Amino acid sequence: MENKPQPQKVEDDTVVSLDYILFVDGKEIESSQQTGPIQFIQGIGSVIPGLENELYDMTVGDEKHLNIKAIDAYGALDYEAIIDVPKNEFPADVPLNTGTEIEIENQEGESYIAIISEVTNEKVVLDFNHPLAGKDLVFDIKVVGLRAASQEELEHGHAHNTAG
């Protein structure tokens, strides 16, 4: 295994370890304080484009406050991804509560995640958008580690959980 030089700044094919706090509509909704830093390979689309673009040339210890528009995060809300399904098409054991996440399989056997956004006597409204679609995101970030991605990580398309 070749020994790659330790990267000094965030660039493509670098494993970035990042502490973050994510705010939506002024409320903290996620933080690495509970889970530890996230690790990902820069430049392969592992994180939202707006975040990835802001990371280039940052070094270990650098911090930023970012305002990422929805279009550079999870995209605009796609109204065609919100569908009405007759309530009687759901099995009795499926909890039909607003906010419930359910997995739906199409006729080809592909699975999709939907959120129940409304329930009436006649229908259930399913939203297949990402829960953060249409939302502007605010991040407080800090780069806490950088290392060269291994050939295996690059082939697999994700960082492996190793120290660094």
Task: Say if residue 68 is in the same domain as residue 45.
Answer: yes
85-128 tens-digit pLDDT = 999 999 888 889 999 999 988 889 999 999 999 999 999 999 99
Q: Which one has a higher pLDDT value, 80 or 93?
A: 80
Is there a contact between 100 and 116 (Cβ–Cβ < 8 Å)? yes
Is there a contact between 12 and 43 (Cβ–Cβ < 8 Å)? yes
**How buried is 100 (Cβ within 10 angstroms: 0-12 exposed, 13-18 middle, 19+ buried)?**
middle
Task: Say if residue 69 is in the same domain as residue 18.
Answer: yes
For 107-127, b/e burial (b = at least 16 CB within 10 A) is eeeeeeebbbeeeeeeebbbb
Q: What's the length of the chain?
A: 164
84 Cβ neighbours under 8 A, 6+ residues apart: 123, 124, 125, 126
Look at residue 164 in the predicted model and tell me its pLDDT: 42
**Pair of tokens at residue 83:** 């569908």
Look at residue 2 in the predicted model and tell me its pLDDT: 53
1-57 tens-digit pLDDT = 456 778 999 999 999 999 999 999 999 999 999 889 999 999 999 999 999 999 999
Q: Domain containing 146: what range?
A: 14-73+134-156
Angstrom distance (rounded) from CA 129 to CA 74? 9
CATH number of the structural domain spanning residue 93: 2.40.10.330
Task: Say if residue 106 is in the same domain as residue 146.
Answer: no
Side-chain half-sphere exposure of 163, counting CA atoms within 13 A? 0
pTM above 0.75, yes or no: yes
Look at residue 162 in the predicted model and tell me its pLDDT: 59
> DSSP state, 109?
S
For residue 6, tell me if it sits in a domain. no
Look at residue 3 in the predicted model and tell me its pLDDT: 64
List beta partners, residue 104. 112
Is there a contact between 61 and 142 (Cβ–Cβ < 8 Å)? yes
Number of domains, the chain: 2
Is there a contact between 130 and 74 (Cβ–Cβ < 8 Å)? yes
